[in-house]
Amino acid sequence: MSNNVRKNLIFTGLIILILLMASVIYINASSKRNNFKNKDNNAALNKDKKIFKESTNNLSAWAVYWDLNSDKEIKILNKQLKNICYFAANFNSNNELVMPEKLINYYNETKSYDYNKYITIVNDKINSDGTSLLKDTNLLKPLLSNLDSRSRHIEDIINLAVKYDFDGIEIDYEQIKNDMELWNDYTLFIDELYQKTEKKGLKLRVLLEPNIPLDKLSFHEGPTYVMMCYNLHGGFGEPGEKANPKFIKKLIEKMSKIPGKKEFAIATGGFNWASNGKTTALSEAEANSILKEYRAKVQRDGESQCLFFNYKDEDNIEHQVWYADKATLESWMKVITEKGYDISIWRLGGNLFE
């Protein structure tokens, strides 16, 4: 073989080797770019899984016994959901604390779910004949009036929580208003209940209404105190939003008098005010269904970020509907999270979170 031929073969081999190396380098670089791109995409997907951008990963929410179609919403909220409050245990005609059968069944079905489970206790009395007294303060007075009766009531509450293996207890006693004697008994009850729940390893949440006379009361550190940031408008008055930023900020300031851990609750859904004087609570899904049925024009209120629309029904009755959607809730959440507090959602069921 001549020297020229040998040189040509060597040169050709070198060219082929260089091309192969260049190909390997290109493939590796492309692979890295794709990996980075996939990581970015995965990060974006993971970010999108956080349904409420303005919320923390410590959301609490209520599942109510009359609307337990909540599984889809729980799955959407996913890891953002830390606590579920099972609403609610009430009192029978003998003033005994009981859980509705539907709620017991639902709790048993969801017992293995990965969040803290609270049983909510309300001052509602459901009689055997089907009649009821809601937010009954006359029910509370004998239960809280002295140490012995409070101790018996506390024992009943803790026994109920232990029986069903709840992680915590939530107290939602409402409409005490300006009954300062009852308020004083109530704050003693909360202190005594907290001492007993601590010993049993149970968590304690206490709900507070916006009209609570906090300047006249002393709550002590220990439980998580939850302020209801809703009912600015409702079935008791003129149409309008359940809340707005000014209202929420005012309640956050009001709660500064309470020590320890605090949360703020916002409300889903809304109300339908009819011109005949009838007002009906409705969910976002129900409001959306009415909107489509009557082909109404929906608008968003600039201050509260609530949606509202008007329509006339088949009986020629005028209606005005105000309700919250995901964007509304996020705007309220932003006000709360900017102050560093966690959020509770009243309630699961009928929400179009997606």
In angstroms, the CA 201 to CA 80 distance is 24
Q: What is the pLDDT of residue 301?
A: 98
For residue 83, the cross-strand partners are 60, 116
The answer to the question of residue 352 being in a domain is no
How would you classify residue 111: left for phi > 0, otherwise alpha for psi between -120 and 50, otherwise beta? alpha
Is 297 in the same domain as 241?
A: yes
Q: Are residues 8 and 40 in the same domain?
A: yes
Examine the domain organization and report whether 139 and 196 are in the same domain: yes
In angstroms, the CA 309 to CA 1 distance is: 94
Closest CA to 339 of 56, 39, 20, 23: 56
> Per DSSP, what are the bridge partners of residue 281?
271
- Could you tell me the pTM of the whole model? 0.86
Model pLDDT, residue 55: 75
According to the model, what pLDDT value does residue 54 have?
77
End residue of a domain, out of 30, 48, 66 = 48
Same domain, 176 and 262: yes
Q: Judge if 68 and 86 occupy the same domain.
A: yes
The structural domain count of the chain equals: 2
Q: Is residue 351 part of a domain?
A: no
Is residue 53 a part of any domain in this protein?
Answer: no
- Distance between CA atoms of residues 340 and 45, nearest Å: 26
Examine residue 337 and state whether it is found in any structural domain, yes or no: yes
> Is position 353 within any domain?
no
Rg, Å, the chain Cα set: 29
Residue 193 lies in a domain: yes
CATH number, domain containing residue 293 = 3.20.20.80
Contacts of 138 (CB under 8 A, 6+ apart): none
**Residue 134 domain flag:** yes
Say yes or no: 90 and 194 in one domain.
yes
Closest CA to 328 of 264, 249, 269: 269
Do 65 and 26 have their domain in common?
A: no
Question: Is the domain of 235 the same as that of 126?
Answer: yes
CA 72 to chain centre: 14
DSSP string, 79-113: GGEEEEEEEEEEE-TTS-EE--HHHHHHHHHHTTS
List for the chain the helix, strand, coil content (%; round to 5). Answer: 40, 25, 35
Residue 81: both structure tokens together: 């959901």
**Distance between CA 146 and CA 139 in Å, rounded?**
14
CA nearest 227: which of 214, 240, 241? 214
- Residue 244 within a domain: yes
Q: How would you label 189-202 residue by residue, b for 16+ Cβ within 10 Å and e otherwise?
A: bbebbbebbeeeeb
- Do 7 and 91 fall into the same domain? no
Per-10-residue mean pLDDT of the chain, 354 residues long, equals 51 55 51 42 47 86 96 94 98 95 97 96 94 96 98 98 98 98 98 98 98 97 98 96 98 97 98 98 98 98 98 98 98 97 98 90
Domain of residue 336 covers 58-346
- Of the candidates 119, 136, 109, 55, the one whose C-alpha atom is nearest the C-alpha of residue 85 is 119
* Amino acid 56: pLDDT: 77
Residues 250, 304 within the same domain: yes
Give me the torsion for CA of 177, 179, 183, 184, rounded to 10°: 160
Which helix (H) or strand (E) covers residue 271, if one does?
strand 269-274
Within this chain, do residues 110 and 19 fall inside the same structural domain, yes or no? no
Question: Could you tell me if 205 and 75 lie in one domain?
Answer: yes
